[in-house]
């Protein structure tokens, strides 16, 4: 991880940022951080916003590779990855299929469940079921209370509600449905919230240190994630060594099961009752802002923000 990287050999690098998803604001923060880091290391890096420019311009302007700092739809979901495949421009992070699966929390859970990995029980509500009061009332009966309602294709805690009672179900589903055609209702796991990044691909994929997240009142929401300093991020996590190793093992298995490469970050809950970890989601284009968790974990492993950005660009690849 400390091997010197020749910045000039990387060629002209486009940092894709902004985009058209609900996470545009965070993507711009991530992108500008990456851009500054790459430039500080002598890389010929330039900002590129796909919401404002056609991706074909990447080829026309001679970009050799792309750092994808886009979050959410049209950036993290396989669409940009597919376009870059057609343009034959290597890019950071996972390929088309892994990106498309990981952006969909329902499909991700199906893959993990099929491979025996632990993830909370869930109910997926299609559009025609979201206004069915009888169906909605049955969800807490099936999953218990409290439960989590979220749009399965969004990130950054957008559209997420912790439902405490039956009367909240309709509003929670309506909020999530503003962002997604399908709504995911998920069993709530009481315990420690943790996250764990992974670098690499296939058998060489390795987990970075686990971060334990302690939010005020357990409210690890959009505002607390990005715009306050009220959340405590503990790295070292303070968890028993065997527990941390088990989380890392599960995260690498989850990453490989989805076919991820380059980098990613899994979010989990560790149940208080029996200390069992449960996978919530895999982020294939994690945040790189001042509050972001992958850089924080990397620092704990002796990898600076700049070194991390360089490594990710060096590992840029194509599916084919």
Active site residues: 23, 156, 226, 265, 267, 281, 283, 287
- Residue position matching structure tokens 């991530």: 30
Residue 165 structure tokens: 């009672």
Helix (H) or strand (E) holding 65: strand 65-68
DSSP 125: E
Separation of alpha carbons 289 and 28, rounded Å: 9
In contact, 76 and 155? CB cutoff 8 Å:
yes
Indicate the angle between helix axes 79-87 and 96-103, nearest 10 degrees.
170
Residue 98 structure tokens: 């892994």
Half-sphere exposure of 70 (CA within 13 A, CB side): 28
Half-sphere exposure of 265 (CA within 13 A, CB side): 23
Instruction: Name the burial class of residue 67, with classes exposed (0-12), middle (13-18) and buried (19+) by CB atoms within 10 angstroms of its CB.
Output: buried
Separation of alpha carbons 134 and 249, rounded Å: 40
Separation of alpha carbons 236 and 92, rounded Å: 27
Instruction: Name the burial class of residue 86, with classes exposed (0-12), middle (13-18) and buried (19+) by CB atoms within 10 angstroms of its CB.
Output: exposed
For 24, the 3-state DSSP assignment is helix
């Amino acid at each position: 991880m400390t091997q010197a990287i020749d910045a000039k050999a990387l060629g002209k690098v486009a940092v894709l940022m902004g985009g058209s998803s609900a996470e545009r604001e965070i993507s711009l923060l991530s992108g500008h951080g990456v851009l500054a880091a790459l430039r500080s290391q002598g890389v010929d890096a330039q900002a590129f916003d796909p919401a404002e420019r056609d991706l074909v311009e990447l080829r026309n302007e001679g970009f050799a590779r792309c750092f994808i700092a886009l979050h959410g739809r049209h950036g993290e979901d396989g669409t940009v990855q597919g376009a870059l495949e057609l343009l034959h421009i290597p890019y950071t992070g996972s390929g088309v299929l892994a990106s498309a699966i990981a952006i969909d929390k329902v499909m991700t859970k199906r893959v993990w469940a099929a491979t025996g990995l632990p993830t909370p029980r869930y109910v997926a509500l299609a559009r025609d079921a979201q206004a069915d009061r009888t169906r909605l009332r049955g969800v807490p009966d099936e999953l218990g209370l409290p439960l989590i309602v979220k749009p399965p294709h969004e990130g950054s805690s957008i559209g997420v509600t912790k439902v405490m009672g039956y009367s909240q179900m309709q509003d929670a589903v309506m909020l999530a449905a503003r962002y997604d055609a399908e709504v995911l209702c998920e069993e709530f796991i009481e315990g420690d919230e943790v996250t764990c990044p992974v670098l690499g691909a296939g058998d060489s994929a390795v987990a970075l240190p686990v971060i334990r997240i302690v939010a005020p009142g357990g409210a690890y929401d959009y505002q607390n994630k990005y715009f306050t300093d009220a959340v405590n991020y503990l790295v070292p996590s303070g968890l028993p060594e065997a527990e941390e190793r088990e989380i890392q093992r599960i995260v690498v298995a989850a990453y490989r099961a989805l076919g991820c490469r380059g980098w990613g970050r899994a979010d989990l809950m560790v149940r208080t009752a029996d200390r069992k970890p449960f996978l919530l989601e895999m982020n294939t284009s994690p945040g790189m802002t001042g509050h972001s968790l992958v850089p924080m974990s990397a620092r704990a492993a002796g990898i600076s923000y700049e070194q991390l950005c360089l490594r990710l660009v060096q590992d840029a690849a194509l599916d084919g």
